[in-house]
Structure 1
Amino acid sequence: MATPDFVLELREKIGHAPLPLVGVTAVVFRDEKILLGKRADNGQWQPVSGIVDPGEEPADAAVRECAEEAGIVIRVDRLALVQQIPRMTYANGDQVDYLDLVFRCTWVSGDPHPADGELTEVGFYDLGAMGQVDQEHVRKVALAVAEDDPATFRGGR
């Protein structure tokens, strides 16, 4: 996965210390199918995701990530989930705390393909064919299925 330049610049200053970042997950629907990609770094199947750039609107980041990673144009319909992902520690020791914003999106145009090397396979799949998708991503998809449900928030009870 390509690390954004702003993260590399921050890492020069803070080393491996925990870095809070905002991420987006785009749950993209085309008819009754969902966009899934196989990540190049770990081989996991999941919806397209990425990091929000400084000053970027999160919904715009979801649109950008789908264009960059899967070569498609999407429309963001609604926010489906807001959650703090447990701290991740990468192989190089970098620690990250991601706030994940999950959006329900609709395919507009383009044929999905591995556009930038972050995915090795990408396409639209039946919802019933998500056996290789981990439970956390299945949950994200489930919360995005409804077209007009309110967003789900973890915590704040």
Structure 2
Amino acid sequence: MSDMPISPYLHSLREVVGHRMLLLPGVTAVVFDDAGRLLLGRRADNGSWALIAGTMDPGEQPAETAVREVYEETAVHVVPERVTSVLTQPPNTYPNGDRTEFVDITFRCRAIGGEARVNDDESLAVGWFALDDLPPINDLNRRRLEYALTPGAAAWFSAPAVHHP
């Protein structure tokens, strides 16, 4: 998928299905430090600032994916506190023609250690940002942040349409 590295599992799927649409499980981490700052990474594939996210590996629990992805990309250790949203992202076509649609589970996470830095080749930069001084982020990331800032334990999800017989 694009210039971003993909897991051996996804690579093996792509060998079978080619560029056809894949529905994939993903997670996003909305990470706050003790000062209330937000952790963002500047993506290597498109240069935009974004929340830390990634695709689940087989056998992995979603919260484990959040912990793994944040550490792999930023060297920050986190504890997931709660699920804040569950949604299907809009379909995406990568420059190489791969098509995906992610079912994303977003977690609000608390940083518990590590120093934020670029820790792999998926990010150009990593940093902590005050909520009133964020770099530009896309609407989907902004929505995820809003859900994570909403008090309460209930996660946002799109309610199904009501069908009457």
TM-score (norm. length: structure 1):
0.96
- Amino acid paired to 2:115: D
* Aligned pairs (5 A) from 1:2-151: 2-30=5-33, 31-151=35-155
Letter in 2 for 1:2: P
Contact conserved, 1:130 with 1:138, CA < 8 A, in 2? no
Which runs of 4 or more aligned residues in structure 1 lie more than 4 Å from their structure 2 counterparts after TM superposition? none
Q: Distance in 2 between matches of 1:26 and 1:65?
A: 8
What letter corresponds to residue 130 of structure 1 in structure 2? L
Would you say how many aligned residue pairs link Structure 1 and Structure 2? 157
Query: Which letter maps to 2:14?
Result: R
Code of the residue aligned with 2:107 in structure 1: it is F
Contact 1:82 1:102 in 2 (8 A): yes
1:125 & 1:131 partners in 2: Cα distance? 8
Alignment TM-score, normalising by the size of structure 2: 0.91
Cα separation, 2, equivalents of 1:134 and 1:125: 15
| Counterpart-to-counterpart distance in 2, 1:135 and 1:16 | 26
Shift in Å, 1:131:
4.2
Q: Which has the larger radius of gyration?
A: 2
> In structure 2, what is the equivalent of residue 155 of structure 1?
159
Q: Which runs of 5 or more residues in structure 2 are unaligned?
A: none
Instruction: Give percent identity, aligned residues only.
Output: 38
Aligned-residue RMSD, C-alpha? 1.1
- 2:76/2:111 contact within 8 Å kept: yes
